[in-house]
A and B are shown apart, each in its own frame.
Chain A
Amino acid sequence: MDMFLTVIGALNEGFLQTLKLFAVTLIGAVPLGLIVSFGSMSRFTPLRWLTKTVVWVIRGTPLMLQLIIIFYIPGYLLESGSPWPSGESGRFLASAAAFIINYACYFSEIYRGGIQGVPIGQQEAGEVLGMTKRQIFFHVTLLQMVKRIVPPMSNEIITLVKDTSIARIISLQEVIWAGYAFLKSSHGYKGLLWPLFFTGVYYLVFNGALTLLFNWVEKKLDYFR
């Protein structure tokens, strides 16, 4: 029983880090993705191409590689050494930066599809009624776009929950790191296999809750078509 409580305590601590990375990524990537999507739809061609190239590179290379580059490369290039604080906080900041950039690019493409999926007639109706571009976006297009993107976004967000485990590559002490530690040596235990498997329960439960939340949002937006 003692062992069980010790393991759970350590896994909880790891999962807290997982949740933190998940939340910070969402808070950063949801708005940043919108800015990126505007860039990729810009009528100013150089900006459009620059944005599309960035999205291509970020989506075309592994997140794990991006994490390694963001965490290690600045330390090699800068004379002042790594800009990241030492210890867990530095690993967390680097992870958050990599995850936000990566997910903003994925979100931007979902947003773009959502915005372009709203019929042009909606925009024209707003224009004819004397609304500004801004008013049309916030009062007409936005909610219709949100309705369209809920299913693909929920997919992406559930993937994000699991992707946070990739931060283990730079030794972020998230839940899988904590579970794996019991295999090697942690809290006086060694060679424990089950804590690693048990981390799956955390993901399952959390993603189950998220699925319910997204279903609820979808239902809430069911009143219009």
Chain B
Amino acid sequence: MAILEVDHIEKHFGPTKVLQDISFDLEQGQALAIIGSSGSGKTTLLRCLNFLETPDNGTISVRGELLFDAADPRTQLEKEIRKKRLHFGLVFQSFNLFPQYTALQNVTLARELLAKERGGESREKIEAEGRELLAKMGLSDREGHYPCQLSGGQQQRVAIARALALHPDILCFDEPTSALDPELTGEVLKVIRSLAEQRTTMIIVTHEMAFARDVADQVIFMDGGVIVEQGEAHQVIEHPREERTQQFLSRYAEG
């Protein structure tokens, strides 16, 4: 069974339809890349999955559990949403690290607040796991640094560790390298690549076509708020069937 099922999602901003009839499934351990030009609705779709936007229509289910149903207001209560959004992690384009906390504190803060509320995990355990995550990101020597003391690539890797700390079922990336200098994108892509190798279930909105082809299992191409084409990554990026996909990708090839 698919870990994530998205059915007929629609989103309007006023009269503008930003998302129309978006449906797709994602299997456990797979990586899905969403590509498309700016304004095609990719980011809005990720924001819907993370409950930062409320879809006007459609349903979202994780592991067969209905998390969101636009037709059922009970699934939209703030208290419920708080629990449900922990199924998802989100890495932002602009990192959004908390500037007043060190790298390690950024990773542990949410877990510690959760533990304080529910009891259970000790501070030591949370910190040890935070250190381990930062080590995985290659940032062991940056634990005590504040975000303003880190490069963009390092900040984004801290942000990835922060999202992983809550053990989301599905980790989402919103153009994780778009705010980075070209020489810093490599280190972030490398981390995401290694997560894919460990079969982390991921959804990646990206403009890096070669990366999407090599790392993702599935690719969705969006244009004008609809899914134009979806399929196996190599097939969509190297042999797109739809004309619009071909046009989009050829523009990329020209650079």
Decide yes or no: A225 and B148 within 8 Å by CB, A125-B92, A139-B113 being known contacts: yes
Verify B92–A130 contact, CB threshold 8 A: no
The segment from B24-32, B94-102, B135-143, B207-215 that touches chain A is: B94-102
Nearest CB to that of A133 among chain B residues? B78
Cα of A147 to Cα of B100 in the assembled complex, Å: 10
Nearest CB to that of B147 among chain A residues? A224
Interface presence of B85 (CB below 8 A)? yes
Decide yes or no: A132 and B82 within 8 Å by CB, A124-B92, A125-B96, A144-B100 being known contacts: yes
Verify B166–A130 contact, CB threshold 8 A: yes
A128-B163, A130-B114 are known; give 7 further A-B pairs, CB within 8 A. A121-B94, A125-B92, A125-B97, A127-B52, A127-B85, A129-B110, A129-B162
Cα of A119 to Cα of B98 in the assembled complex, Å: 11
Verify A225–B99 contact, CB threshold 8 A: yes
1/0 contact string of A209-225 vs chain B (CB within 8 Å): 00000000000000111
- In angstroms, how far is the closest chain B Cβ from the Cβ of A60? 35
The B interface, classified by DSSP as helix, strand, loop or mixed, is mixed
1/0 contact string of B8-43 vs chain A (CB within 8 Å): 000000000000000000000000000000000000
Cα of A91 to Cα of B109 in the assembled complex, Å: 48
Nearest CB to that of A141 among chain B residues? B98
Cα of A144 to Cα of B96 in the assembled complex, Å: 13
Report chain A residues within 8 Å CB of B89.
128
Report chain A residues within 8 Å CB of B146.
223-224
- In angstroms, how far is the closest chain A Cβ from the Cβ of B172? 9
A to B CB contacts below 8 Å, 14 in the list: A121-B92, A122-B98, A124-B96, A125-B97, A127-B51, A127-B52, A128-B50, A128-B89, A129-B109, A129-B162, A131-B113, A139-B113, A223-B146, A224-B146
Interface presence of A135 (CB below 8 A)? yes
1/0 contact string of A105-130 vs chain B (CB within 8 Å): 00000000000000101101111111
Interface presence of A140 (CB below 8 A)? yes
1/0 contact string of B71-115 vs chain A (CB within 8 Å): 000000000001101101110101011111000000001100110
Verify A130–B100 contact, CB threshold 8 A: no
Interface presence of A65 (CB below 8 A)? no
Cα of A117 to Cα of B32 in the assembled complex, Å: 35
Cα of A199 to Cα of B85 in the assembled complex, Å: 61
Report chain A residues within 8 Å CB of B162.
129
Interface presence of A16 (CB below 8 A)? no
Nearest CB to that of A123 among chain B residues? B96
Cα of A120 to Cα of B100 in the assembled complex, Å: 16
Enumerate A137-178 residues with CB–CB distance to B below 8 Å.
Answer: 139-140, 143-144, 147
Closest 3 pairs between A and B when the two form their complex, measured CB to CB: A129-B110, A125-B96, A121-B96
Cα of A41 to Cα of B204 in the assembled complex, Å: 35
Verify B98–A128 contact, CB threshold 8 A: no
Report chain A residues within 8 Å CB of B96.
119, 121-122, 124-125
Cα of A134 to Cα of B152 in the assembled complex, Å: 29
Binding site for A on B (CB under 8 A): 50-52, 82-83, 85-86, 88-90, 92, 94, 96-100, 109-110, 113-114, 146-148, 162-163, 166
- In angstroms, how far is the closest chain B Cβ from the Cβ of A39? 21
Cα of A120 to Cα of B61 in the assembled complex, Å: 27
Report chain B residues within 8 Å CB of A126.
110
Cα of A122 to Cα of B99 in the assembled complex, Å: 9
Pick the most buried of B89, B97, B113, B146: most chain A CB atoms within 10 A of its CB: B113
Verify B148–A125 contact, CB threshold 8 A: no
Decide yes or no: A139 and B99 within 8 Å by CB, A127-B85, A128-B89, A129-B162 being known contacts: no
Report chain A residues within 8 Å CB of B52.
124, 127-128
Nearest CB to that of A130 among chain B residues? B86
Verify B85–A130 contact, CB threshold 8 A: yes
Verify B99–A224 contact, CB threshold 8 A: yes
Verify A140–B113 contact, CB threshold 8 A: no
Cα of A140 to Cα of B113 in the assembled complex, Å: 12
B98 in complex: contacting residue of A125, A127, A223, CB < 8 Å: A125
Pick the most buried of B109, B162, B163: most chain A CB atoms within 10 A of its CB: B109
Cα of A125 to Cα of B51 in the assembled complex, Å: 12
B82 in complex: contacting residue of A119, A130, A143, A223, CB < 8 Å: A130
Decide yes or no: A143 and B100 within 8 Å by CB, A128-B88, A225-B148 being known contacts: yes
- In angstroms, how far is the closest chain B Cβ from the Cβ of A80? 47
Report chain B residues within 8 Å CB of A144.
99-100
